[in-house]
Structure 1
Amino acid sequence: MIKVTGYAAKHSFSRLKPYEFERDDPAAHEVEIDVLYCGVCHSDIHQVKNEWSNTVYPCVPGHEIVGRVTRVGPAVKRHAVGDMVGVGCMIDSCGQCAACKDGDQNYCGSPNSWLATYNGPMKPKAKAGGENIYGRDNTFGGYSNIVVVKEDFVLKIPANLRPEVAAPILCAGVTTWSPMRRWGVKAGDKVGVIGMGGLGHMAAKLAKALGAEVTLFTTTKDKIAEAEKLGFKAILEKDKDAFEKLEASFDFILSTVPEKHDLNPFTALLKQDAVLCVVGALEPLAPLDNMQLAQMRRSVAGSLIGNLAETQDVLDFCAEHGIGPEIEMIRIQDINDAYKKVEKGDVRFRYVIDMASLKEEIAGEA
């Protein structure tokens, strides 16, 4: 067994605090990873606070993990000691259902769905009281010094991509990349991105690198100037005149807002047969005006993170095009304050934890 230190929440109302636990030694097809960086995702906050009503405590968040391989199981072929690697939202899936066989592990059709990097199976209780196929109800994520993961769910970090920048790409990057590839965003397309946070600004960068013309929509005046600094046009959601001029002009719109919001003003901006995809919110949204959809055969869709191939693809794409999220490094000891700033929208645009701060804490207690 491996002794591990992480930061955990014990209840929905508690702060994240140091937490000691154990992980199994790497099995035949698993690798042990020394965690160097871990991104802070808004879903970490939702999960810690049990806002999706499925949190298993203690909760050790973190699914944007970058680190170095320190040990491998005897049957591992994909990775070697010393490799710089990443782990995203998933660490296992059934491998037998139609979705898994098609390479869409993120839509695993087993009774438990896929196994999340933290907080256990996506569906903690198997249907009709069936067996938990993963044999565990909880998993602990990357707010810790060591993780052990099946080799197939470990991604390679390109050498010319800074590891700390790569961390948010493992969730924010692939979550926006997957739907853009699914609906064929290409050079010359007009793409709208709703929200300009961690996901939104990453989506804009990816769409631009694909050759699309990008417009960001925000509720905050301050973000207009920030968007322009990054080379994007931005429009306030309350600007009715601007919305009227943009009616039926977008090939694709991506909503990255991580909470309930009204999509109706944006569906009117879609061309005939165009798609608005929601990736930020995982709760019921405001009702849609179906007349607005039906008149031009528009569609509203959802997308959940991305599969393993898409995750490696977006890492390689970012490395090739020299793009990545705007990040701010923090110490893990500041994580609770960081959560407050994320909720207030004060962070621009993605926090990444320097896990050296955790190692310093461990050393100081030794």
Structure 2
Amino acid sequence: MIVIDGVIWQSEGFSRSPLLDQSYLWLSLIEEWVKAKKATEFVVLTRGQTWLPPGTFFSEIPRFAFAEADEDRTGLQSACDQLKARLFLSTGYTTPISTPSIAFIYDLEAEAGSQFHSEYIEKKNAILAAAHYVFFSDEVFAGFRTHYPGIPPEQMSLVYPAIEGWAKPAAPDAMAEFRRKFQLTRPFFLAVLPEQLADYRGIQAVSQAWEILQGQRLSRTELVFAFPSPLKVDPVKAQLPQREGLRYLSLNNPELACAYSSALALVFHSTFRPSSPLEAMACGCPVVHYRDEQPNASGSESATASGEKKDKDPLQNPTALLCQGSVRELAEALQRIQSYPVRSPLIAKGLERAKELSWSTVAAKLWDIFEQVAPSESEEPTDR
């Protein structure tokens, strides 16, 4: 039996990730596991939530509180013992005492704060107790390895979340209407901003690179920063870069699909919308992935502006043009992505990769990891 703690659905407790909707992620996965006839192989421990996908087995337990974390661990272990759990999964960062567990790392927000904060302490406890670690984005995967360098690579899995159904190549007439509506008369690069914009590093770097490109080329392009609709942002009040040809648009999902399908390329930075590279690939849009940070000590993140891989690290994404370094190097990458021999293979690889990222595929991949990590039925878990 696999036990899942539904602690993330409490109205208070662990904070929600700004990078990933944990509620939607877990409900989608649970629904797929029920469809795959695995409902008898897992149970969700509920802490007050009232809805789970039909067919889900669940058991109510007391609500989580940081002040009673030790008692919560004891209670979770008792529940695992009663259910004869082979593996424990938490939607947040709770953990039992001895049952093997997997830690799901959604972001590194807790690590960026005080090490004495209750949420950081509980997250670190869950990480130290875990037998395996699952990540949902390249950036979090890379950052985790910097914060926790002693964890062996074989204990870490990078699993991309599914691409939503709206993300697909737009029809020519829809793209034409999109361009007319927003008066996009020139070729444009696209960057998609998150709902909570707190870090302007990516905006500054991409806009500066685009300005360099404008000065080098006879033909002119535009740069579009897209905000998720219905988010309303005043670029002037937000002190965002201003220049002719630089646009800020609030787009709904169908409009965003048209933007991806029409753009010269999506430019991605760690401060932008995390799902945008996968959405762009599904729409047939090539991706320029820019990293302005320095490679870590192991050199595992190193890449050239041409996108050539120096090792088999999972961070090296063959479906994107990787660029790490100066703003001028990013400008050169934006120029290169416009040539057919560069962009065409990236578009083809991106479309193929997008086919693999349905919720059923993601759920199956995670279940395979669970089976590899969980001890067999005959094995007894040992105390840590």
**Structure with greater strand share of residues:** 1
TM-score (norm 1): 0.26
Structure possessing the higher radius of gyration over alpha carbons: 2
TM-score (norm 2): 0.25
**Structure with greater helix share of residues:** 2
